[in-house]
Amino acid sequence: MDLDGNAFTREFNNLIKLKHPNIVRLIGFCSEDEKVIIECDGKPVTATDMHRALCFEYLQNGSLEKHLYEEHQGFDWQQRYTIIKGLCMGLKYLHMELESPIQHLDLKPENILLDNNMLPKIADFGLSRLLGEENTKKTISPLGTLGYCPPEFIKDQIISIEFDIFSLGVIIIKIMCGSTGYSHAYTTRPSKFIRQVKKSYLIEKIFL
């Protein structure tokens, strides 16, 4: 993962202290300076080109996003439950079990990796923030991914402790009903959606 200086420092400082089975593990980092000749005002000058990269553990099954769109290889309900529970535990760790809680701010299937046993690990903390004593902040910087950002952020650029919870809810719905079913679930009444999921679960149980 190539990052500029500020993003590299932020990512490294956030990740080095994270120790949880549902958070991607930082293995190490690389930092290298290269002397290059560039032209400035018509004259050659020596400059330093900095190369930095973070190295993470390898997760054999790739991102959750890939699996959500490969519906012919869809999850069974035990796998779905395991993934949802793992995401909730990882997010609980970030929000409630650290001395300085971390808000991820870009939680989406692309940033959730699966290991060889299909256990989820939250990854990519490049946008994360420490809210500290405050429960909300306002930003003018672009954050998150459209479709996973809560209404208060889209309308007023407010970052709250509920930002990641909204994103998690979107992911859970996609895990439960698949990528093609999400657009229908979005407009379905909660009670009807629950009945549909329960029906799907029971049908799978009958045929197992």
Q: Which are the catalytic amino acids? A: 106
Q: Measured in whole angstroms, how far is the alpha carbon of residue 23 from the centre of its chain?
A: 10
Cβ pair 163, 103 in contact under 8 A: yes
Report how far residue 121's alpha carbon sits from residue 128's, in angstroms, rounded to the nearest whole number: 16
Cβ pair 87, 120 in contact under 8 A: yes
Element (H, E) at 151: helix 151-156
Element (H, E) at 33: strand 26-40
98-115 burial string, b = 16+ CB within 10 Å, else e?
A: eeeebbbbbbbbbbbbbb
